[in-house]
Structure 1
Protein backbone atom coordinates (compact mmCIF):
# COMPACT_ATOMS: atom_id res chain seq x y z
CA UNK A 1 0.00 0.00 0.00
CA UNK A 2 1.34 3.41 -0.96
CA UNK A 3 1.76 5.58 2.18
CA UNK A 4 1.65 8.80 0.12
CA UNK A 5 -1.73 8.11 -1.50
CA UNK A 6 -4.43 10.34 0.06
CA UNK A 7 -7.26 8.60 1.90
CA UNK A 8 -9.33 11.79 1.54
CA UNK A 9 -9.19 14.19 -1.41
CA UNK A 10 -11.25 17.37 -1.66
CA UNK A 11 -11.13 19.44 -4.83
CA UNK A 12 -12.67 22.91 -5.35
CA UNK A 13 -15.41 22.32 -2.76
CA UNK A 14 -18.07 25.02 -2.68
CA UNK A 15 -21.32 25.02 -0.76
CA UNK A 16 -23.94 27.76 -0.96
CA UNK A 17 -27.19 28.04 0.97
CA UNK A 18 -30.21 29.75 -0.61
CA UNK A 19 -31.73 32.83 1.05
CA UNK A 20 -35.51 32.62 0.72
CA UNK A 21 -37.95 35.46 1.18
CA UNK A 22 -41.66 36.12 0.94
CA UNK A 23 -44.80 34.02 1.18
CA UNK A 24 -43.73 31.69 -1.64
CA UNK A 25 -40.15 31.41 -0.32
CA UNK A 26 -38.56 32.71 -3.50
CA UNK A 27 -34.76 32.41 -3.59
CA UNK A 28 -33.42 35.98 -3.53
CA UNK A 29 -29.71 35.32 -2.88
CA UNK A 30 -27.15 32.70 -1.86
CA UNK A 31 -24.78 32.65 1.12
CA UNK A 32 -21.32 31.11 0.65
CA UNK A 33 -20.74 28.65 3.47
CA UNK A 34 -17.66 26.97 1.97
CA UNK A 35 -15.73 28.46 -0.93
CA UNK A 36 -12.93 26.78 -2.89
CA UNK A 37 -11.54 24.20 -0.43
CA UNK A 38 -8.73 21.89 -1.64
CA UNK A 39 -7.40 19.31 0.81
CA UNK A 40 -5.54 15.98 0.91
CA UNK A 41 -5.34 13.78 4.00
CA UNK A 42 -2.75 10.99 3.91
CA UNK A 43 -2.94 7.86 6.10
CA UNK A 44 -1.45 8.63 9.51
CA UNK A 45 -2.17 12.37 9.37
CA UNK A 46 -4.50 14.08 11.81
CA UNK A 47 -6.96 16.70 10.56
CA UNK A 48 -8.29 19.49 12.76
CA UNK A 49 -10.76 22.17 11.71
CA UNK A 50 -10.31 25.42 13.62
CA UNK A 51 -11.95 28.79 13.10
CA UNK A 52 -14.40 31.41 14.28
CA UNK A 53 -18.09 30.80 14.78
CA UNK A 54 -19.94 30.62 11.49
CA UNK A 55 -16.86 30.14 9.31
CA UNK A 56 -17.99 26.80 7.80
CA UNK A 57 -16.30 24.14 9.95
CA UNK A 58 -19.45 22.09 10.53
CA UNK A 59 -20.63 22.55 6.95
CA UNK A 60 -17.27 21.31 5.66
CA UNK A 61 -17.41 18.33 8.01
CA UNK A 62 -20.94 17.45 6.93
CA UNK A 63 -20.00 17.62 3.27
CA UNK A 64 -16.94 15.39 3.90
CA UNK A 65 -19.26 12.85 5.55
CA UNK A 66 -21.70 13.33 2.65
CA UNK A 67 -24.52 14.40 4.97
CA UNK A 68 -25.07 17.43 2.73
CA UNK A 69 -24.37 17.69 -0.99
CA UNK A 70 -21.85 20.34 -2.07
CA UNK A 71 -22.90 22.92 -4.64
CA UNK A 72 -19.69 22.31 -6.57
CA UNK A 73 -16.52 20.24 -6.25
CA UNK A 74 -15.56 16.69 -5.33
CA UNK A 75 -14.98 14.81 -2.08
Structure 2
Protein backbone atom coordinates (compact mmCIF):
# COMPACT_ATOMS: atom_id res chain seq x y z
CA UNK A 1 0.00 0.00 0.00
CA UNK A 2 1.38 3.41 -0.87
CA UNK A 3 2.13 6.05 1.74
CA UNK A 4 -0.65 8.48 0.70
CA UNK A 5 -3.22 5.69 0.97
CA UNK A 6 -1.95 4.80 4.45
CA UNK A 7 -2.18 8.41 5.53
CA UNK A 8 -5.68 8.72 4.10
CA UNK A 9 -6.90 5.55 5.84
CA UNK A 10 -5.29 6.63 9.10
CA UNK A 11 -7.00 10.02 9.00
CA UNK A 12 -10.27 8.38 7.99
CA UNK A 13 -10.06 6.01 10.96
CA UNK A 14 -9.40 8.84 13.40
CA UNK A 15 -12.25 10.93 11.99
CA UNK A 16 -14.73 8.04 12.20
CA UNK A 17 -14.05 7.75 15.94
CA UNK A 18 -15.75 11.14 16.41
CA UNK A 19 -19.03 9.71 15.16
CA UNK A 20 -19.16 6.63 17.41
CA UNK A 21 -21.16 6.32 20.63
CA UNK A 22 -17.93 5.77 22.61
CA UNK A 23 -16.72 9.27 21.76
CA UNK A 24 -16.40 11.44 24.87
CA UNK A 25 -14.79 14.42 23.14
CA UNK A 26 -17.08 17.36 22.50
CA UNK A 27 -16.37 20.39 20.37
CA UNK A 28 -17.34 23.53 22.24
CA UNK A 29 -17.20 27.18 21.31
CA UNK A 30 -14.32 28.85 23.18
CA UNK A 31 -15.06 31.72 25.51
CA UNK A 32 -12.87 34.85 25.62
CA UNK A 33 -11.17 33.91 22.39
CA UNK A 34 -8.83 36.92 22.29
CA UNK A 35 -7.61 36.38 25.85
CA UNK A 36 -6.94 32.72 24.98
CA UNK A 37 -4.91 33.81 21.93
CA UNK A 38 -3.02 36.24 24.14
CA UNK A 39 -2.17 33.47 26.62
CA UNK A 40 -1.05 31.18 23.81
CA UNK A 41 1.04 33.96 22.28
CA UNK A 42 2.74 34.84 25.57
CA UNK A 43 3.41 31.22 26.46
CA UNK A 44 4.44 30.08 23.01
CA UNK A 45 6.60 33.03 22.01
CA UNK A 46 9.54 32.06 24.21
CA UNK A 47 9.24 28.44 23.12
CA UNK A 48 9.34 29.61 19.51
CA UNK A 49 12.67 31.36 20.09
CA UNK A 50 14.10 28.29 21.83
CA UNK A 51 13.06 26.10 18.88
CA UNK A 52 14.67 28.49 16.40
CA UNK A 53 17.89 28.60 18.46
CA UNK A 54 18.05 24.81 18.66
CA UNK A 55 17.54 24.59 14.90
CA UNK A 56 20.36 27.05 14.25
CA UNK A 57 22.67 25.17 16.62
CA UNK A 58 21.83 21.88 14.90
CA UNK A 59 22.58 23.33 11.49
CA UNK A 60 25.87 24.81 12.72
CA UNK A 61 26.85 21.48 14.28
CA UNK A 62 26.26 19.59 11.04
CA UNK A 63 28.06 22.25 8.98
CA UNK A 64 31.10 21.90 11.26
CA UNK A 65 30.90 18.10 11.13
CA UNK A 66 30.67 18.06 7.33
CA UNK A 67 33.49 20.59 7.10
CA UNK A 68 35.78 18.44 9.25
CA UNK A 69 34.91 15.39 7.18
CA UNK A 70 35.68 17.20 3.93
CA UNK A 71 38.97 18.57 5.29
CA UNK A 72 39.97 15.12 6.56
CA UNK A 73 39.71 13.67 3.04
CA UNK A 74 41.94 16.29 1.42
CA UNK A 75 45.43 14.81 0.81
In which range does the TM-score fall when normalised by the shorter chain? under 0.3
* Normalised TM-score (structure 2): 0.19
Q: Which has the larger radius of gyration?
A: 2
The answer to which structure has the higher helix fraction is: 2
Bigger relative contact order, structure 1 or 2 (CA pairs below 8 A, ≥6 apart): 1
TM (norm. structure 1) is: 0.19
